[in-house]
Each structure stands twice: as structure tokens, then as C-alpha cells.
């Protein structure tokens, strides 16, 4: 989030559950889990121009759906407002009576001035130190991809969640989210999801 928005906060309960995803897991033979594959998927996402004010949501939606399909997640695209797709993924839990967990991220990014970048802002360039350059690399395409990669790893380890896990990839957060997260939060779709806990954007890290 870049600008201060004059809208009410979404009725999301924000909790940090990162330890849930950071528990050690056995090393994997699965090549899809190799660091270079993980970085390459992140680069692809960074290369999609979802810059406001005309984000390419069509391409980002296709990308997220292809990730969902590679993970055998259920998926649907909801346009509460035309051309403002909310991509909703689901990993069904073994006990559907339990409230669910929602991992939210936004797909759009704020605009940029080329002259202020040492590498192209839509390039997904990785330098010799391993730093990855791209508009939205922190805010917040990295988070959306970390959710997906955590699921990839958990699935490969044989883990099955008790609670259903949802992922929402929402549009227009950088212009206040009225046509994205807000519509989702007040929808019947959201009610039916029976969400108890949401993880969302947190503070930035510093590049040092």
C-alpha cells in the first residue's frame, strides 16, 4: 500500500502466522521446488505489467491460474467489477466444519520513474548478490509468491491442512481497493468462506 486511502479498513483480522510456514520440512527432490525455479516463477510475476493506472490484470490472472493448476488448487475468478478480477484459490481442508485461513495479496503495483531505477522495473533482474529488482517485488508480489511456494512445499511433503486455506489475489489495492478487496470482504462469497484469520501485507524489509 502506498497511498493513504479514505476507505474503512476491510473487516479482516490481521495476525502474523508466519511461524506456521517456517517450520522445517524435509529436503525435496522435486525440481519445481529448486531455488532457481522458485526465483524464475517470481521473475515471471514481476515481468507482468500490473502498474497502475492500467494494470494488465488479464495476464496476471492467467499467471496465477497457471500456478494454481500446477498446485492442483481449486480456482475461480470473480469480477465484482468488470475487468477487476479477484482470483480466489482454495486448498480444501480435511475438516470443512472448521473456519478457514485466508492469505491475501494484491496484484497491482504503483507507477515508477525509469530514471530512478538501476535495473528495469519490469525486468525481474537478479544481480550478483542475488537481489531481485522489480516494481512490486516487495509490495507485494513477493508475498503472493511466498504463499504459493509455501503451499508447493507443503504439498510435496504430503501435508494436508485441517482447515481450508484460501488465497485471494485482489486488484486495485494501490488505488484503495474499492473494486477489489472491499467488494470481496462484503460479499456472500466471503461469508461462505467462513474466514477466521487473514494474513496480508506487512512492513517492508530494507535492502541493505
- In the complex, minimum distance from the CB of residue 143 to ligand NAG, in angstroms, rounded to a whole number: 21
Asked if 179 is an active-site residue, the reply is: no
Q: Which three cell numbers stand for residue 161?
A: 491442512
Phi-psi domain of 107 (left: phi exceeds 0; alpha: psi -120 through 50; beta: other): alpha
Q: Which residues of 125-134 are buried (b: 16+ CB within 10 A; e: fewer)?
A: bbeeeeebbb
Give the number of other CB atoms < 10 A from CB of residue 59: 16
Distance CA 70, CA 90 (A): 13
**Of 139, 173, 174, 200, which is the active-site residue?**
173
Nearest approach in angstroms of CB 4 to ligand NAG is 21
Minimum distance, C-beta of residue 20 to ligand NAG, in the bound complex (Å):
35
50 vs 67, beta carbon nearer ligand NAG: 50
Q: Which is nearer to ligand NAG, 61 or 75 (CB)?
A: 61
Whose Cβ is closer to ligand NAG: residue 49's or residue 194's?
49
Q: Which is nearer to ligand NAG, 135 or 153 (CB)?
A: 135
**Residue 173 bears catalytic tag:** yes
CA distance 113 to 81: 29
Binding site for ligand NAG (CB under 6 A): 49, 51-54, 122
Please report how the helices 57-70 and 35-47 are oriented relative to each other, as an axis angle in degrees rounded to 10. 160
| Distance of alpha carbon 89 from the chain centroid | 10
Just list the catalytic residues.
108, 173
Amino acid at each position: 500500500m502506498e497511498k493513504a486511502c479514505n476507505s474503512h479498513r476491510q473487516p479482516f483480522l490481521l495476525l502474523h502466522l508466519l511461524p506456521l510456514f517456517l517450520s522445517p520440512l524435509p529436503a525435496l527432490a522435486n525440481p519445481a521446488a529448486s531455488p532457481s525455479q522458485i526465483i524464475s516463477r517470481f521473475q515471471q510475476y514481476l515481468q507482468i505489467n500490473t502498474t497502475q493506472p492500467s494494470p494488465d490484470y488479464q495476464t496476471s490472472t492467467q499467471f496465477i491460474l497457471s500456478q494454481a493448476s500446477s498446485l492442483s488448487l481449486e480456482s475461480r475468478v470473480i469480477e465484482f467489477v468488470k475487468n477487476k478480477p479477484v482470483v480466489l484459490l482454495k486448498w480444501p481442508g480435511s475438516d470443512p466444519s472448521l473456519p478457514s485461513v485466508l492469505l491475501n495479496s494484491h496484484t497491482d503495483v504503483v507507477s515508477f520513474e525509469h530514471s530512478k531505477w538501476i535495473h528495469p522495473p519490469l525486468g525481474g533482474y537478479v544481480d550478483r548478490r542475488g537481489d531481485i529488482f522489480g516494481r512490486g517485488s516487495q509490495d507485494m508480489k513477493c508475498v503472493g509468491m511466498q504463499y504459493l511456494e509455501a503451499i508447493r512445499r507443503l504439498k510435496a511433503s504430503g501435508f494436508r491442512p485441517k482447515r481450508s486455506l484460501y488465497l485471494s489475489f485482489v486488484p486495485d489495492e494501490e488505488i484503495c481497493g474499492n473494486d477489489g478487496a472491499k467488494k470481496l470482504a462484503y460479499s456472500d462469497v466471503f461469508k461462505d468462506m467462513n474466514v477466521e484469520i487473514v494474513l496480508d501485507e506487512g512492513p517492508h524489509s530494507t535492502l541493505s
